Structure 1
């Protein structure tokens, strides 16, 4: 019982212990959401900024911030412009009532002029700074004239300076105000946007000039705090920039604070350099800068005050939540948070793209099923053909029996007899080419009063029936072909979606190990990027200094990588620098287990230039090697075009990733539907897997192929009609396991059936292949061609093509270099 109570009490205790934390977290999130709603959505942050900008001064008398800020708010967030105006007027009123009246009057003048000219403006954002410039210039000149009843050159110059500052500040505020909203925008900030944001923040802080807490200057504390934030988040470059810009604006507002620009710039530089020490390091940078620069200020008496201001800024910085710093860092390029945010964004885009591709794959699969469903007999196309027979006889009776006076006798009283007779007549006409037996003719004459007319009508309708059946069969075959093609496209897109979702693995540790291993062996490497370390699919990119064509990538780096990765690695692509101080970019990939050396010998009929045979050897991206021969019907240019187009179309379909059978059926469909001429092509295709030397042979109307393995010859044969004769056919695939040293010999009919006075072409070709004394592919191809031509007494009576491919183990030129042993001996 005690154990049972303990088991009940302990979980309850855990729940109660975690409940306050959960409530605290919810309370904090609720408080944060409330602050965002109050300051950002309702616009009271603009009220605060407007208040500080309304009392900000330049050169102790110019107030150029009010109108640019109001103009930017009016253009970007028009509904919050009254709140911003209230803040500006209230801030100006803290200086003097005349400043408040001036700020309100210039704003009213801007609105009046902008409303009048708005109908003629094509681009308001471009015209906005000019409106601010002329409004400030006219307003200040009018104000000076009202106060002093005259205008001097000094008044004009000061009005021009203030109007020019207003022009620039308008551009800055238009750039920086959107950054203070919570609307969804792009994550990265441009350098110009960062500078504009800094200028705006510094301008806002000038509104605190004259404020002090316990005799400590608020503007000095806030400016140093701002420098600490950016130095910690973005490093020395941005930190020093923030220091210079902030110090410059404070110097313009108060000339006595000019030396603070040096302090802030130096603090930003030191703090950024010491950011690896986290907050303590950045704070130490500000403290050192304060001690060094503070001595050159207004004397040693103020050093204590300066240090206290620095300490207050450091305290604020230390108390700043890390969440706020992380959010700020996400927007600044170069930071780890920004990189993580970008990676997350790219991952999201990758997932969305993969999802869309998968959806397209499902669409093509559904279309394929839709076309395939027509192959099944529907209620109108029953398997026994009874319904079609009924429709056929209905058409016959409509033209014959409907007007006959014995219709009721034949179809009401003797329906089965009449139906059976007409069915038998139709069957006999179908089998005997329109003729019926004399017995059936006599019986039908006795049964029907219009026997001759009925038989003629049946014969006529039978012709239409057969034409309709051929058309339906053709449509059905076309549907089946389209269904197979759509299914092939669906499979390719499905595989592509899976490839997209394969996220690049993080190989930082392996990159450092390879980098260090090569550096210790004296190979200077600038950069290493690993994309895949999968067995048989290694993919590594490197940047190395200019090698001057010495081939150190192939001779040194690839053998070292082979030892490190315990797998043969070769140079796949190399881009050498065009100048001595540049870098070479090299791609290393896994070596294939086998290679194929191919050679060809071919000749046109009667020694012509154009052969009806076409051939192609290509390495596909999926680690397969394809060899193909196509023989167009006949000879000459037309046969050459047919065979060439067959291979080109096949190559493009195979390279897209579609399976071989679907590819061949697609090519056959194009050839059969493209023209009504009886122009056909044969196809002999061999697909060799370079990883295991497995081969698949697809022969469409082509001659046999032969594999020479030592003294043994293996015949590869399949039976299929040439391409283009029929639309629907099954592709026979013959599989064979090749071995290193095998010779694969493929030929057109001009070679296989070329020898004269030969009864058995198979035995003759096998004997000639066995008698070969060489295994060099080109020599074998030339010898077979020569033997066939000699048997014809030197005449070439047909187009001839023979391709010979030798399967070999992929042996790299350079053996692996034992990097691990060298490092162990060095250590």
Structure 2
């Protein structure tokens, strides 16, 4: 979004397309399901796709990762033809009967089975089948039909998780998988502890929760706990056993255990001795005893602790603390590694003169007949005369020479040439050493600043729901304590889901919470009680707050380089965050041209990434300042930063200026200027940008400019006053036209030599929720 011209107002909100965590998990599990085999057949790939399409026909693209999983697993060429044809036939059947599939739910399992049997029959044209192959194909067809029915219910949990619970699922499974990996292949009295724990989780969750979460635990714990060589077997066993156990849970503990044993039997019956035996008889007996002895209340409490739908964020906080600790340790390690740049590059035991004397002695004089006379009997005189020759600024062979060389030295010319070359080499070394020291100092500073950035990132922590935390803090000041706030983007606007303890009859919802949001939002809000404990008897109160209207921002942007330059050093960015905040930012890189542009673009890119990662505005600016010190160390590079932050629910705006010129707010015919003076980004360690808060209303316009615009205004008086008159004279409400007209009017009366010029205009407008 950097340095981009903008569009008409209704198309201003840039919606980013990204793959959700849920879809990534489906793609991964699809690959695994396609790869999972039973006795050299692959009966789960097409049933998996069928079960997904039953829930969402737009997920047909999962055919590709599932087929890749099957393709990478098949070792037999004939089987490759069989499954390749089956996938092609299935795709054609889906395209042919796509309308009927939505109406006739039985049709998709039938098409899946038909694809497998048709692919198998066609593959028999290449290789004549045996009776065993025909029987195996029939069994695979029946198994695929049953698998579609099982998986269509087993995968329901991917579509019923509330917003944010996929993240909790990942955190939970990471912790569980870490414990299981720590246990490893530990065996105690013939019992595999890891297999026993996973089986117990499957049985307990089947009893307390149901098919969806059992399948989820079976798939995800298998992915984490077992190596790739055992993964297909683990996935098959726990999925089948868990699903059968949950189907029979209505008959109580006996039904769950019977279902688990049926799944265990089916697994071993179809796979036989080729499979991996995850549970021996001792393990089965322990699971039976534990299930009967543990009270149902304890099982339910344990399952609630492991539940995928619990709102508590404790596990995530633990995970964040672990990550933060590791980041701080990494920063300390980097800081220690950076000290390497302070160590001397070469051994400094010998100075250049000593080194030269040794080389003359060993390389030139060693084979001379007078070697012993010079280096043994007259050692001091020899050293003294070499020193005189070495330190002389200029030596003439036919002029004044040290006594030794005049009287008896037969290798004078060779020694002279060596000393001359050695002196030149040492002078060059001094220059190079100075350059290396300078580069080392710069590198050390870069590493030190980078380590500082890492520490700041870790200490501040990434909070993906930062705005929700701010709301909790504001509610707390009003005496309203809530456990969690979830902000959901529901297409036309945002809704706020609040979870708190019951009111106990004091009607906190109506008396305190509703008035708070009435005042916070532009035109008030409506409240819906999703679950009231006074009526339902549950432990938590759940409220949905829907603002009656929201603000949006349409943006216009123009940017031209300095006269004679190919690149503008000014850059801009604008984006909306998940929590309903809008950011507009300008940056002016020092100087002009490509170097200035790169610096300003880098400033805005890091800023945008920090905000979208969940950092608050103040923390993002501090981290950005340290990051730009790393980027610009060793030179005089810096950038100004001009930010406008708008809360789209309340209209509150904050203007942050670091080395930037004034910004302006136009409301109807009145224009207000917002001035700031502070150091640019990346100049020094501490930075205190100017921060101004204002309340914006629909149809307000925010005008942000770089110093090149203000400097280009030709005026004998106050240039800012003349610029305000320019803004007042423009009547259009289209932000792009507004920015272009400002630029045109400024250029009409500009000075002869102008700088880079960038203008960013934001129109605040109202949208109904």
TM-score by length of 1: 0.37
Which fold has the larger relative contact order, with Cα–Cα distance below 8 Å and residues 6 or more apart in sequence?
A: 2
Greater fraction helix: 1
Higher Cα Rg: structure 1 or 2? Answer: 1
